[in-house]
A and B are shown apart, each in its own frame.
Chain A
Amino acid sequence: MPEVKIRKFVTAIEDIFHERGPVAIKPRKRGWCLAVIENPFAGKYVEDILSFMDDLKPLGMDMAQRLIAAFGVPADVIDGYGKGSIVGENGELEHAALWHAPGGYSMRGHLKDSLAIVPSTKKVGGPGTRLDIPVTHKTASYVRSHFDAVEVGINDAPRANEMLVALVMTVGPRIHSRSGGMEVSAIKTRDGQK
Chain B
Amino acid sequence: MTKAKIRKIIVTVDEVLTEQGQPVSPPTRRAAAVAVIENPFAGRYVADLTELIDIGEELGDLLGRRAVAALGVEPSQIESYGKAALVGENGEIEHAAAILHPKFGKPLRAAVENGAALVPSSKKRGGMGTALDVPLGYKDAAFVRSHFDGMEVRVQDAPRADEILVAVVVTDSGRPSPRVGGLQKHEIIGEDGLR
The distance in angstroms between the C-alpha atoms of A165 and B144, with both chains bound, is 34
Chain B residue at minimal CB-CB distance from A8 = B16
Tell me, rounded to whole Å, the shortest Cβ–Cβ distance linking B68 to chain A. Answer: 14
- Most chain-B CB neighbours within 10 Å: which of A8, A27, A155? A8
Whether B6 is near chain A, meaning CB under 8 Å from some CB there, is: yes
Contacts A6-B18, A9-B17, A10-B15 given; indicate if A155 touches B152 (C-beta within 8 A).
Answer: yes
The distance in angstroms between the C-alpha atoms of A10 and B14, with both chains bound, is 4
Find out whether the CB atom of B11 lies under 8 angstroms from the CB atom of A12.
yes
Tell me, rounded to whole Å, the shortest Cβ–Cβ distance linking B111 to chain A. Answer: 18
Question: Count of chain B residues with Cβ under 8 Å from any Cβ of A?
Answer: 20
Question: Count of chain A residues with Cβ under 8 Å from any Cβ of B?
Answer: 23
What DSSP secondary structure best describes chain B's contact surface? strand
Contacts A7-B19, A155-B131 given; indicate if A17 touches B152 (C-beta within 8 A).
Answer: no
Whether A5 is near chain B, meaning CB under 8 Å from some CB there, is: yes
Tell me, rounded to whole Å, the shortest Cβ–Cβ distance linking A13 to chain B. Answer: 5
From A9, A27, A130, A154, B8 is in contact (CB under 8 Å) with: A27
Whether A48 is near chain B, meaning CB under 8 Å from some CB there, is: no
Whether B25 is near chain A, meaning CB under 8 Å from some CB there, is: no
Whether A101 is near chain B, meaning CB under 8 Å from some CB there, is: no
Residues of chain A within 8 A of B9, CB atoms compared: 14-15, 17, 27
- Most chain-B CB neighbours within 10 Å: which of A15, A18, A27, A153? A15
Residues of chain B within 8 A of A13, CB atoms compared: 10-12
Whether A47 is near chain B, meaning CB under 8 Å from some CB there, is: no
Residues of chain B within 8 A of A17, CB atoms compared: 6-9
7 further A-B contacts with Cβ under 8 Å, apart from A15-B10, A18-B7, are A8-B14, A9-B15, A15-B8, A15-B9, A16-B7, A17-B7, A27-B8
* Nearest 5 Cβ contacts at the A-B interface: A12-B12, A151-B156, A155-B152, A14-B10, A16-B8
Task: Give me 29 A-to-B residue pairs in the complex whose CB atoms sit less than 8 angstroms apart, sorted by A's number.
Answer: A5-B18, A6-B17, A7-B16, A7-B18, A8-B14, A8-B15, A8-B17, A8-B18, A8-B27, A9-B13, A9-B15, A9-B17, A10-B13, A10-B15, A11-B12, A12-B10, A12-B12, A12-B13, A13-B11, A14-B8, A14-B9, A15-B9, A17-B7, A18-B7, A20-B7, A27-B8, A70-B13, A70-B70, A154-B14
Q: A residues engaging B (CB < 8 A)?
A: 5-20, 27, 70, 130, 151, 153-155
Q: B residues engaging A (CB < 8 A)?
A: 6-19, 27, 70, 131, 152, 154, 156
